[in-house]
Amino acid sequence: MKNTVYLYVFDTMADWEIGYLIAEINSGRYYKKGVMPLKVVTVGITNAPITTMGGLTILPEIELEECNANDTAALILPGGNTWTEAIHAPIIRMAEKYLEKGIVVGAICGATIGLAMEGVLDQRGHTSNDLEYLKMICPNYDGEMYYKQECVVTDGSLITASGIAPLEFALHILKILDVFSPQTLESWYNLYKTQESKYFFELMNSIQ
């Protein structure tokens, strides 16, 4: 059973971009009945501690080579300031292999730049922070015809998002992982999007 969600962690990682997502995946508090719990596992280039953009220190639980595709439900790639650097090439290769296997890969903000630089987005529907910026920073990028001017895009098992859409990013990934009922997912999203109390009661009723 695929019950592991790998969260790639690295220095300068934009920690807030994956906050909604990992909290709901790891807590399982709104999972629909009968769904096997998923576990978030942090994975680093090495097992050395990393420092996020928010100043948090994270000790990766495993290194890249320890990842097991047979157990993987999803691979999450947060944004950060270093995605143009070659140090991330191994995780991009792993993401590409996972996509070929139909495993969910979620990339937000700077992580979409990493994918674009390696040609992963050239033939897949996707978005990023801005098309013109993506073309400028990734000279080899050839996926303009697949770019969508939306805050988040799902194409098969690939989810890409702008850095200002962490809630929508979480929505799309939770939907494709199918761990919430449709009613729960809609109420959950509406609650955080609108801050209207009626959606809290809808959310609570949906998990009864």
* The predicted structure's pLDDT at residue 206: 96
**All domains in the chain, ordered by first residue:** 4-177 (3.40.50.880), 181-207 (no CATH)
In this model, does residue 156 exceed pLDDT 80?
A: yes
In single-letter form, the type of residue at position 38 comes to: L
Residue in 67, 109, 138, 151 annotated catalytic: 109
* Sign for the pseudo-dihedral over CA of 154, 159, 160, 166: positive
Beta bridge partners of 153: 160
Beta bridge partners of 76: 7, 106
In single-letter form, the type of residue at position 192 comes to: Y
Query: Is 67 noted as a catalytic residue in this protein?
Result: no
* The predicted structure's pLDDT at residue 125: 97
Using CA atoms, how far apart are residues 52 and 50, in angstroms rounded to an integer?
Answer: 7
* The predicted structure's pLDDT at residue 2: 84
Using CA atoms, how far apart are residues 182 and 20, in angstroms rounded to an integer?
Answer: 17
In angstroms, what CA-CA distances link 205 with 5, 84, 181, 187? 27, 45, 12, 10
Q: Could you tell me if 173 and 106 are in contact, meaning their C-beta atoms sit under 8 angstroms apart?
A: yes
Nearest to 163 by CA among 13, 43, 36, 4: 13
Provide the pLDDT confidence category of residue 1 given band limits of 50, 70 and 90: low
In single-letter form, the type of residue at position 133 comes to: Y
